[in-house]
Structures are given as C-alpha cells and as structure tokens.
Structure 1
Amino acid sequence: MADLFDNNPTVDRSAAAPRPLADRLRPQALAEVIGQDHVLGPEAPLGTMLVSGALSSLVFWGPPGVGKTTIARLLAHETDLHFVQISAIFTGVPELRKVFEAARIRRGNGQGTLLFVDEIHRFNKAQQDGFLPHMEDGTILLVGATTENPSFELNAALLSRAQVLVLERLDHAALELLARRAEAEMGRPLPLDPAARETMLEMADGDGRALLNLAEQVMGWQVEGELDTARLTTRLSRRAAQYDKSGEAHYNLISALHKSVRGSDPDAALYWFARMLTGGEDPRYLARRITRMAVEDIGLADPQAQTICLHAWETYERLGSPEGELALGQAVTYLALAPKSNAGYAAFKSAMAAARQTGSEPPPKIIRNAPTKLMKEQGYGAGYAYDHDAEDGFSGQNYFPDGMARGAYYTPVDRGFERELKKRLEYFGKLRAKRQT
C-alpha cells in the first residue's frame, strides 16, 4: 500500500496527513468567529460594511491568536474576492511586484483581490507607500494585520486609506467556548478537573490558537481519570506573557504602574510591577522610573521617599536578580502609601516657564557678587541685608529682577511633610509683608 501511495501522482498527500486541531477548528463562516462581536456584529464596523456591500481596506490590530487571518480569509469568501496572503517578514519588493501584477490581471478578468498582509508593520516606509496606488485604483483591497500600534508603525498615508479595527484578546467565556468546540471535535471531554481546566484557560493568556494547541496536547496523554492542577502544570509549560520591551505593551504597563502608585493602590502597583518583571523588563529601568515617581508625584510631601528609592536601586545593584527585585518592590509599596504632592514638580515647571519668558534679566544689584573695586563702584552688593543679622533671621528683601513682578510658583499641599512647609511659607510671607511696610 505504501508503494502504491508513493507512486500515485494523483493522490493528495496533504489530505492524508494529520491536521492540527487549530486548523480543523478554523471557522468556516464569520458567524463562527469567537470573541470579536464588537467588530463582526450586525451594528459593528465589519457587519455594517458587509450588509452595505462597501468593504474598505482594513488594518486588524490585536494580539496573536485572536482570528486576524481567519477573518480576512472569510471576508474574501463572503465578498467573492480572490484571497492572497503574504507575510511582511518573507516578502520583498520583487515579490510584491508579482502580487500586484497578478492582481491587475485578475481585475482585468473581472475579479478583485483581497491582499492579506501579515505583520504589515514590518514593511518599511517605502514598501508601505508601494501599496497606495494599487489601493487607490482598486487593484487590491488591502487587509493588514499587526500586533503593534498602527499609530506608531504604519504610515499616515496608508492609515488614511484604511480603517483600523481592534481585535481583542479572548476573554474567559470565549476561551471556554473554544475548549468545548475542541472537545466536540475530539469526541471526548478534556481529562481535567474544574480547577485544572481553569488553569489551562489561564495558560492560553487570551490566545485561541495557544488554547487549542494546549488542548491537543492534553488530549494526546494517556491518563486515567482527571488531572488536577499540580499534575497538569508538571506536564505543560505556562505560556510566556506577551510583552515587547520596546513596543506599546512596555509603555502601557509602565503607565499602569505609575498611575497605580499615584492613585495610592499598592496592590495594583505591585501587580503591574510584577507583570513587567515577568515580561523580561530590565529592573534598572524600573528602578529609574520609580525614583522618578518619588520626585514627580510625592516630592516634599515625603522627602524620605526619594531616598528609599535610591537605596532600593543600590540594593538591587548589590544583590542582582531576583533578590534585589524585592527591594524595588518594597519601594513601590512605600511610594503607593506615601502622601502625594506634585507641588514641587508644578513649581519647577512654572519657574522654567518664567525663566524662558524673562530671558536675560539680570539679578538686582543688591545680590550681585562684587569681587572687584569697579563692581563695588557700580553698586554691586550695595544695600544687601545679611539675613542672619536681621530680626527673626529674615530680611524680606526682593531677590527677583528689578521690574519683574514677584513670582509665586511653589504651592505646597496640606498633606504629609508639605503641611509643615506650607506653614513655613505662610510664616515667611507674613514676615516679608511686614518688612516691606
């Protein structure tokens, strides 16, 4: 039988080869796509386009395993367009020219082309510009797929000709529905107890393809009864979290960490801190950022906060990972629970703005340095009151440029140590008014 099979040129060997579960469960209609109703529903963007018969070029933005390729293929089927799929990773200019020429011939024969470009953000600016004339004259209907923020990665000219649709990671309900489809396809339930089943869904991390691959592995095991979580996790490796240290995920997570600290939520702050560490973020970057948080959002409301961050940073440099990360985590907790004030930050920005506006205004002569006789003759330092000799150790003199209105930049809050600084500021304000009268 093997010889007959091998020598028969009419036999489709690919049909006889086993197909992965994810391929067997690929939706055959848009109604079967799971978890993207906000895009595919009757009132959603794609649903509306299909009903009206006016499908435009699109860019699908979303994480892996949420159906970008499948939706593009099904759109071509439902609109009677010829489906062509390329990857920006493996396609160069010569290959693109062949694709466009074939689409042009196809169009001349009365059939349109839906060109699906996976990882479209990997094309450079010139390559992206190459799509524009073919999109404009109707040679192709472009559907791009990207895991990166299109605002950062795609040309404005291309984005102006395509609608960006955001595909979401699959939630728990969608993953559970997908697991049930897998069980129906395999003809038996997954050999997992309820807790282990939940663990497997969590391991997929919102990726439908990953879930089906995990389910296929589990179905292939020869086990008696049901596996618990401990036995499952010894057989399966947890999927690495999606995290790009130079992409949008990086900025989203550091923003979440910073805002959780500012919002005085230590639990949320520690969670995002841990998410960044497990994603492979450099702890030194985190040390620098949490020190910035101490300066920007706490400031003089708790002067110790900055010192604690610097000590945690130094501790990390001495201990390294993972022990040193504990010190950084403790600093995050301290910052979240510290009194908050951006008064120092706001005062600095206001002072910088005033400095730019006033240009080269010189200091008043009373506080200028007078190291030479000529300078003294010009009145430098004349009339300066030595504050230590003044009543209450405060002269109340004007230290702003002559003719410039007195600036008021620092307004401490009534929290933490700044409550004491506020009292001091008010005290000196009263003394200044008294001296000036």
Structure 2
Amino acid sequence: NHKLKIDQEALEAIVQVADGDCRRALNFLETAAALVDESDEKREITPDILRKAAQQQALRFDNKGEEHYNLISALHKSMRDSDPDGAAYWLRRLLKSGEDPLYVARRLIRFASEDVGNADPQGLRVALACRDAYQMLGSPEGDLALLQAVTYLATAPKSNALYLTEKQIDKDIKATGSLPVPLHLRNAPTKMMKTIGYGKGYQYAHDQADGLVDQEHLPTELAGTTYYQPTNRGFEAIIRDRLIKWRKILAKRAQTNAKSV
C-alpha cells in the first residue's frame, strides 16, 4: 500500500530487459517491488534491486531449462486427462512465470489436432481463435482467451487417431520408399499421357447415386491398408459409423458385381 520510487537508470533497465513486451516488464517490476526493504524510508527500486529480481526470475523460470518443460508437460497432460482445473492452474503458472503467451497458443493448436482431433473438430478453431485474440488484445486481456481455449480443449472428447495415422503412414513410407501413383489416379492433361494410360479407369464419385466408388487409392504395394481408425468418442464416432456404412455398401456392391460377371 506504500508508494514506490524507481530511479531513471532502473527504469531504463526494465525497458531494455522487456524488449517491448509489457507483460515481461510488469512481471519484472512486480518481482523487484517485492524485494524492496519495508524498513527503507526511500522505498526505491534501484539497479541493485533489479539485479536481484533478475536472478530470482531466472531461478523461478528458465524458458530453456527443466522447469519450462515441466510446466508445459503438466499443462499438456492435464488437458489430455480432461482435467480443466489442473489445466487452468498450470496455464496461469506458465504465464505468471514469464512464458510467451503465443508459445502457449502454438502448443494449444498442436494439442487440438494431436489429442482432440476429429473427436471435436471445433477444438482446432477454438485454438486458432485463441491465438488471434491474444495477438489482437495482448496481456492481460488476451490471457482470458488462452484460458478459454485451455478449458475447452480439456473438456473436449479426446482422440489421438490422427497422430497414430501420421505415424503409421510415415513408417510405411520409410519402409517402401516413393511408390508410384496408380495410373488411374494420375493427372492426364495431354493426349500423350492419356495414351499411356494416365487416368484410365478412374471412377468419378459424383456419377454414383450414393457418391461411393469401389477403387483403390493407395499404391499397389499398400492396397487395402487402413490407416485412419477413428475412435468411438465425440464426433469421431459419427465418422466411424459413416466409414463402416460405406464399407458395407461397397462390399455388397463388389459381391453383386462379381456374381454378374
């Protein structure tokens, strides 16, 4: 409740350290203010106090050290485990420790695809909107957008099906190399290409009443492989049921065509 003074040299030091970041400047100033001796009649923030504040902040948070990764890990795991309270707490800890809010926003965007995915496609929109809102508002107003995104993602249905799909495809690409695109899927802008079979036999899905075609879209060596396996959670359950329905229709059509041959 007592007024503090700050000399010009100390003020210039804060400006230099903050490098245009208002949040960093405020955090630094608050740390320094807490170090001012209550018994000091001058109650002045000096360069010496700023040096002590800088040391204290370095101990509290090192954005390249273990604590940085511990806090990020705690936030990520809390969201993955669908705990909005833990997620909100670790978000605030990160921000109060001086973490770049836009770094957190980028992690939320990644989380929305990796741990929520198609179980709630809206999650990615929320994460992107959170980043945009923070860029527009800055701190402290924009902090609430981060909190909104964190609690939304924490309470969204979860799926890592996209992550597993990516890993399995990358594994197969590494094992099989650059397999050729099947002829019927190739682009054929010239007569020469059409002559050698590019695009031949391609079935146009919109010509079918149900929009479904029975043709392979993977290289011959990987034909029949199922990569994307949606969970039964959230919107992905609808996708899962849709794929099951489509496969049954195509299987029945294949049987009918086989009998007619």
Q: Tell me if TM exceeds 0.5.
A: yes
In the alignment, is residue 344 of structure 1 matched against residue 165 of structure 2?
no
> How far does residue 434 in structure 1 lie from its aligned partner after superposition?
2.4
Q: How does 1:1-400 map to 2 (within 5 A)?
A: 242-400=60-218
Q: Partner of 1:323: helix, strand, or coil?
A: coil
For 1:389, the aligned partner's letter is: D
> How far does residue 391 in structure 1 lie from its aligned partner after superposition?
3.8
**Greater strand share, 1 or 2?**
1
Tell me what 2:229 maps to.
411
- Can you list the C-alpha shifts for 1:80-106, whole angstroms capped at 9, x where unaligned? xxxxxxxxxxxxxxxxxxxxxxxxxxx
Tell me what 1:425 maps to.
243
CA contact (8 A) 2:119 2:233 kept: yes
Tell me what 2:10 maps to.
none
CA contact (8 A) 1:396 1:431 kept: no
> How far does residue 253 in structure 1 lie from its aligned partner after superposition?
0.5
Specify which structure has the bigger relative contact order, considering alpha-carbon pairs within 8 angstroms and separated by 6 or more residues. 2
- 1:435–1:367 Cα change, 3 Å: farther
TM-score (norm 2): 0.74
CA distance in 2 between partners of 1:271 and 1:423 (Å)? 37
> How far does residue 306 in structure 1 lie from its aligned partner after superposition?
0.7
CA contact (8 A) 2:216 2:223 kept: no
CA distance in 2 between partners of 1:254 and 1:260 (Å)? 10
> How far does residue 277 in structure 1 lie from its aligned partner after superposition?
0.7
CA contact (8 A) 1:343 1:411 kept: yes
> How far does residue 340 in structure 1 lie from its aligned partner after superposition?
0.4
CA distance in 2 between partners of 1:404 and 1:245 (Å)? 44
CA contact (8 A) 1:262 1:297 kept: yes
> How far does residue 328 in structure 1 lie from its aligned partner after superposition?
0.5
Q: Partner of 1:350: helix, strand, or coil?
A: helix
> How far does residue 360 in structure 1 lie from its aligned partner after superposition?
2.1
CA distance in 1 between partners of 2:222 and 2:135 (Å)? 47
RMSD: 2.2
TM-score (norm 1): 0.45
> How far does residue 373 in structure 1 lie from its aligned partner after superposition?
1.6
CA distance in 1 between partners of 2:249 and 2:180 (Å)? 26
- 1:383–1:414 Cα change, 3 Å: same
Q: Partner of 1:393: helix, strand, or coil?
A: coil
CA distance in 1 between partners of 2:221 and 2:143 (Å)? 53
CA distance in 1 between partners of 2:83 and 2:126 (Å)? 18
CA distance in 2 between partners of 1:359 and 1:431 (Å)? 33
Number of residue-to-residue matches in the alignment: 206
Q: Which runs of 5+ in 1 are unaligned?
A: 1-212, 222-236
For 2:68, the aligned partner's letter is: H
